[in-house]
Amino acid sequence: MSEDVFVSPRKHGRIAVLISGRGSNFMKIHDAVRAGRIDAEIGLVFSNREDAAGLAIARDRGLETAFINPKPYADKEDYDREILGEIRKRDIDLVCLAGYMKVLTPMFCRACRNRVMNIHPALLPSFPGLHVQQKAIDWGVRVSGCTVHFVSPEVDMGPIILQAAVPVLPDDTEATLADRILAEEHRIYPEAVRLYFEGRLEVRGRRVRILGSSPG
């Protein structure tokens, strides 16, 4: 059976960022867009929380924002269909999850295969899920970090695009480790988005190859 291969499009893209909180990763992506390091524009900042600090920042930066209250939706797919509608309406090429605290339904993931990225504050596949900085400390690992990956229906398990490692220090608290990891998130997330619209991400099964960079 021949393997399904995806290569990201080389184009001036349109990005939707989905957030639930402070939105620092969203801001770093936007900073990189504004500085011309990413050949794209942010067409939508969406949140499931009206009070997300990042949403107010997006408005201040003159970006289009949307909030949909999930409460009236008994069916998670119905909610995700609304978000899909917002995305399609704006001709979005890539969805960036940046501290979006809802799990996307398999329906959404299938509809946007290879078009949704997430940032996770651990070196996947270690420590999927929540509160992972504390889990890394409790486990006693010496190294943790962050992962940018494509989103698949299995939470935190999609193909890995970029990772960065940081040391876990003996005196670390959840907050100090989270800060050290966040600095790396802010570096690799915009980088992954840049590579996407440079047409340089090739996905074969689980593996992502960065085209145009020397192996090793």
Task: Name the site residues for ligand GRF (rule: CB under 6 A).
Answer: 19, 21-25, 54, 98-99, 119-121, 182, 185
* Sequence-separated contacts (24+) of 1-5 with Cβ below 8 Å: 3/204, 3/205, 4/204, 4/205, 5/202, 5/203, 5/204
Which run of H or E residues covers position 43?
A: strand 40-47
Nearer to ligand GRF among residue 43 and residue 99 (C-beta): 99
From the CB of 113, what's the least distance to ligand GRF, in Å?
Answer: 20
Question: Which residue lies nearer to ligand GRF by CB, 93 or 185?
Answer: 185
Distance in angstroms (rounded) separating the CA atoms of residues 29 and 15: 10
Which position among 120, 131, 149, 186 bears the catalytic label? 120
Q: Under a CB-based contact definition with an 8 Å cutoff, are residues 21 and 50 in contact?
A: no
- C-alpha–C-alpha distance, residues 199 and 79, integer Å: 31
3-state secondary structure of 193: helix
**Among residues 84 and 124, whose Cβ is nearest to ligand GRF?**
124
Least Cβ distance, residue 140 to ligand GRF (angstroms): 21
Using DSSP's 3-state secondary structure scheme, residue 127 falls into coil
Q: Residue with CB nearest ligand GRF?
A: 99
Q: What residues are paired with 198 via a beta bridge?
A: 10
CB of 37 to ligand GRF, least distance (A): 18
Shorter beta-carbon distance to ligand GRF: residue 37 or 81 = 37
Instruction: Please confirm, yes or no, whether 12 is among the known catalytic residues.
Output: no
Report the catalytic residues. Answer: 120
